[in-house]
Amino acid sequence: MQAKITNFWEWQQHFSDEKICLEAIIKQRWPEGFCCPRCNHNKGWLLKTRHVFECSDCHHHTSITAGTLFHNTKLPLVKWFWCIYWLSSDKGSISALRLTKLIGVSWVTAQRMLRTCSRSNISGIL
Ligand SMILES: [Zn+2]
């Protein structure tokens, strides 16, 4: 998706806030636009603070991050996106200690992020 971005400067300029990261996840999950899983209605609004789409017809709430590697995360999405960059640019060999210094999370959190990313398909975001 972001094949044109080749260095971290461009990456962090592009994924600079929560809204942009959330929109990237939305585009990946619903390339043709949002569709309600309950009633198939194609209009909804974003409840940004909760990472949720509300269907404008049946008012069903659909989590944007459910089923993705960002599921139930308390961390800013920006940190996840930066983690994904470092992970992919270092061919998956980045250490938790290095990630700790790069994105300012604890070692335990960095470990958990790396484990989650290694279990997920992150290429769809890149
Ligand atoms: Zn609906």
Q: Residue 82 contacts by C-beta under 8 Å, 6 or more apart in sequence?
A: 8, 11, 12, 15, 102, 103
Q: How far is the CA of 67 from the centre of ligand 1 (A)?
A: 19
Whether residue 51 contacts residue 41, with contact meaning beta carbons closer than 8 Å, is answered with no
**Tokens coding 57:** 């017809």
* pLDDT (tens digit per residue) in 38-87: 999 999 998 877 789 999 999 999 999 988 889 888 899 999 999 999 88
**pTM to 2 decimal places:** 0.84
For the chain, domain boundaries: 1-29+69-126, 34-66
Q: How far is the CA of 24 from the centre of ligand 1 (A)?
A: 22
